[in-house]
Amino acid sequence: MKFEQTNELKEFNQLYKELDEMYHIIALNAGLSDSAFLILYTILENGGGCLQKDIAAMYSISKQTINSSIKNLEKQGYLESKPGKGHDKHLFLTAAGQAFADERIIPVMQLENDIFQEMPPEEISEFLRLTRKYIAIYRKKFNHLLNGRNES
């Protein structure tokens, strides 16, 4: 079967990959894997500790990948985990982790805030509305695709 992408889809994919690559470079420049960067980012975003399983679910990253990154962050002295219910781990920044995050993660969060500050409120609303719409349509078609395959 031959499939030809629309120019819009090609551009969207290129933009998505470009943004993803910038975050990848940020993580590498900080000496982190992408998943380690996301762990630290999420802990800061949540204002303190968070659960390992929540990070895995939020970013659709396997628990094994998250667990591996947690172990590396603990070895670096940036993170400590405390047991929760069952196998849940609550993750917290150490003092060294907070200092590292202040230097390497918070500037990225500030950059993201600055981008939205440069956009008029109506553009932000439209951007978010269209992104939500795209994801809702995608989710519906994604579920249909999965359900169609499962029925075969």
CATH assignment of the domain containing 60: 1.10.10.10
CA angle 131, 146, 39 (to 5 degrees): 55
Q: Say if residue 96 is in the same domain as residue 21.
A: yes
Could you list the residue range(s) of the whole structural domain that residue 145 is in? 119-152
Q: Is residue 2 part of a domain?
A: no
Predicted confidence at residue 120, as pLDDT, reads 98
Q: What is the largest CA-CA distance in the chain?
A: 56
Determine the Cα–Cα distance for residues 99 and 77; give it in Å rounded to an integer: 11
pLDDT for residue 150 = 57
Task: Say yes or no: 57 and 126 in one domain.
Answer: no
Q: Is residue 46, in this structure, part of any structural domain at all?
A: yes
The answer to whether residue 1 sits within a structural domain is no
One domain, residues 32 and 82: yes
Asked whether residue 100 falls in the same domain as residue 28, the answer is yes
pLDDT tens sequence across 18-71: 999 999 999 999 999 999 999 999 999 887 778 888 888 888 888 889 889 999
Residue 49: per-residue pLDDT = 78
Q: Do 53 and 112 sit in the same domain of this protein?
A: yes
